[in-house]
């Protein structure tokens, strides 16, 4: 016996990826529904070798359904997730709406799988921010060994994190630069993204941080350990898919780079590719479509007492969003629902 699964936002980048990953990982599905807004109603989406017609999220009855994967943004989530939860369907939400709610677990299965057991307070589980998810996968096994005091992270985030319009903007801007008669004005981003980098993701806060930077700090504390100090600088780069991060970690105890490399090689969800030679590291273009979080450039930081530097790359539409949501569903199945 399998699960009755709903994917809300099935026509978006993340929703389509959720359907792909459910099929790829052979999630035990008895029945599946693809939901979308009225403007996308009837659009066909793929689920393995099947084609699904989208149904209307606004009128869908969640009664009798087991799990709903939401990829529709905070506005629609606020309206429809509580309805699904009240009908007995457990919601796994990809938006930021519930991440900071103390009654809603924020889960990365490689890091805090047991947190799913807290779902029952609201029948909702939150999926973290894409840049946080890949970072905590890398931090967790190192934290277990040497206890992390402080993390300094700079991100290099792909435009797909802003949605389809941002992908189109990078593509159209790039073409317009090579065509002098084509004048393409920035719409999604405040400055040109083609051949440029923008140190600005989400809105600015009074502190001077952007909300994306605040998310990384707050979510890391909730998922990993509230005592870990985190400071982040988040940058949008002209890459279609794949977030990269330069992470500097300061530990309470000494950790040798060779031991760190061995620990990461054995850790779930991680692939270490770290050769000190030309091309002996992973870049965003190579991680696209992969489930793993890739770690490269592991080395001692001699400027602090117990420091390690590393480079972390992951497909932001997968581990940063859709894959993590499906992994939460798998964990929920194993620990709570026990079907399939």
The catalytic residues are: 130, 243
Distance CA 325, CA 92 (A): 6
Distance CA 150, CA 250 (A): 5
Distance CA 226, CA 244 (A): 24
**Degrees (nearest 5) of the Cα angle 75, 231, 303?**
160
Q: Which of these, 188, 136, 196, 131, lies nearest to 157 by C-alpha position?
A: 131
Determine how many CB atoms are found less than 10 A away from the CB of residue 268.
13
Distance CA 284, CA 240 (A): 9
Residue with tokens 């479509």: 289
Q: Which of these, 63, 67, 72, lies nearest to 38 by C-alpha position?
A: 72
Q: Which of these, 49, 57, 64, lies nearest to 15 by C-alpha position?
A: 57
Cβ–Cβ under 8 Å, residues 259 and 273: no
Q: Give the chain's end-to-end CA distance (angstroms, integer).
A: 5
Residue with tokens 């016996």: 1
Cβ–Cβ under 8 Å, residues 186 and 266: no
Cβ–Cβ under 8 Å, residues 249 and 308: yes
Q: What is the DSSP letter of 226?
A: T
Cβ–Cβ under 8 Å, residues 93 and 126: yes
Distance CA 229, CA 67 (A): 34
């Amino acid at each position: 016996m399998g699960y009755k699964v709903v994917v809300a936002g099935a026509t978006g980048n993340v929703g389509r990826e959720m359907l792909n990953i459910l099929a790829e990982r052979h999630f035990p599905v008895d029945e599946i529904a693809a939901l979308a807004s009225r403007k996308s109603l009837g659009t066909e989406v793929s689920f393995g070798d099947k084609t699904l017609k989208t149904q209307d999220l606004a009128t869908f009855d969640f009664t009798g359904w087991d799990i709903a994967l939401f990829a529709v943004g905070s506005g629609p989530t606020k309206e429809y997730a509580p309805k699904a939860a009240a009908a007995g369907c457990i919601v796994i939400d990809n938006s930021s709406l519930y991440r900071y709610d103390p009654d809603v677990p924020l889960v990365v299965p490689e890091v805090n799988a047991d947190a799913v057991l807290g779902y029952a307070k609201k029948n909702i589980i939150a999926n973290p921010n894409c840049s946080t998810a890949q970072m905590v996968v890398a931090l967790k096994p190192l934290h277990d060994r040497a206890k992390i005091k402080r993390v300094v992270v700079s991100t290099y985030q792909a435009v797909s994190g802003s949605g389809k319009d941002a992908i189109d903007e990078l593509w159209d801007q790039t073409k317009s630069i090579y065509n002098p008669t084509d004048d393409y004005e920035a719409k999604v981003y405040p400055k040109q993204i083609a051949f440029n980098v923008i140190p600005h993701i989400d809105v600015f806060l009074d502190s001077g941080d952007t909300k994306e930077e605040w998310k990384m700090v707050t979510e890391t504390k909730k998922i990993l350990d509230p005592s870990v100090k985190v400071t982040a600088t988040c940058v949008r780069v002209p890459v279609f898919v794949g977030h990269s991060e330069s992470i500097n970690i300061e530990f309470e105890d000494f950790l040798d780079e060779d031991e760190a490399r061995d620990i990461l090689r054995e850790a779930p969800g991680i692939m270490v590719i770290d050769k000190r030679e030309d091309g002996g590291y992973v870049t965003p273009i190579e991680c696209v479509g992969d489930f793993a979080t890739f770690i490269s450039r592991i080395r001692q930081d001699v400027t602090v007492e117990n420091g390690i530097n590393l480079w972390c790359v992951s497909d932001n539409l997968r581990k940063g969003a859709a894959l993590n949501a499906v992994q939460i569903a798998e964990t929920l199945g194993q620990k709570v629902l026990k079907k399939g």
